[in-house]
Structure 1
């Protein structure tokens, strides 16, 4: 079965973006050696991306070519009027049902790009297998949280961490399956 991996950066106070969706704060932290924090290796390990429509619109606002054109990309939206593009298929069905089916199909791992609402739905459904969270040395004070209201309490198993001279710290966790009661 394919793994669903949430690979994302957060501020130290747990925000993945400003309230308006901007992630400019990630670029404001000096990175003189142009470290990619394992991004290229991670990107090579996945063949599918999942994101909410707000996250998709933010990516489009960066300009340039769509960055995941070589992947199968699904964007979840309640807007049924959206039309598929060359690189994106819009999904209007229940995200948890869709992802359960997707994980059982052949392929590489699946990247949950975000945002907070989709992260919460898939966390609550127990569908995220691994979390690769890169903590940025900045506090935003407000914005879009990693998980939205209603996120269920979930236990994680620590896998590893790595710190970088830029002040970023990357942690990897896996979901601990809930105990089975017999």
Structure 2
């Protein structure tokens, strides 16, 4: 059975993006640590599938770089019809049933990229097996929350925590 991991960064006040979807605050040069990718490369090698909402997909396209996950099976959940692309399959069917079927397949892990709505839906349905959350020492004040309105209470167990010299704190929770 494949594992779904929400691997994501958030501001100290719980936002994953500014209100307009901007995530440039994540790439502030003052946070750069030479030779450190905060476990990203290792994590990426352990997944063969990505899941994301349509707004997150649009934000990724706005990075002005080639699509970053061409070697993965990429699913974008959208309420409206979109043509599949070379790297992305759009999913309009029920996300819960779709992810339940994905988890039954063999292969590497599934990366839940976000955003807040799909994070909430899959967490509430018990489909998120692990959360790797990196807190970034910045307060945004407003924006897109890590979890959308309606997230249900869930107790997690911290299985690892890492502190980085730039102030990042990464929690691995199950």
TM-score normalised to the size of structure 2? 0.97
Counterpart CA distance in 2 for 1:24 and 1:132 is 20
User: Equivalent residue for 2:74?
Assistant: 73
In the TM superposition, what whole-angstrom CA distance separates every residue of 1:101-153 from its partner, at most 9, and x where no partner exists? 00001110000000000000001101000000000000000000000000001
SS in 1 for 2:157: strand
User: Equivalent residue for 1:18?
Assistant: 18
Counterpart CA distance in 2 for 1:59 and 1:27 is 14
**Following superposition of structure 1 onto structure 2, how do residues 111-126 of structure 1 map, counting pairs within 5 Å?**
111-126=111-126
Q: Which runs of 5+ in 2 are unaligned?
A: none
Contact 1:48 1:110 in 2 (8 A): yes
User: Equivalent residue for 1:42?
Assistant: 43
Counterpart CA distance in 2 for 1:12 and 1:34 is 24
**Post-superposition offset of 1:29:** 5.0
Q: RMSD over aligned Cα, in angstroms?
A: 0.8
Contact 1:76 1:90 in 2 (8 A): yes
How many residues align? The count is 173
User: Equivalent residue for 2:60?
Assistant: 59
Q: Which runs of 5+ in 1 are unaligned?
A: 175-182
User: Equivalent residue for 1:180?
Assistant: none
Segments of 4+ in structure 1 off by > 2 A? none
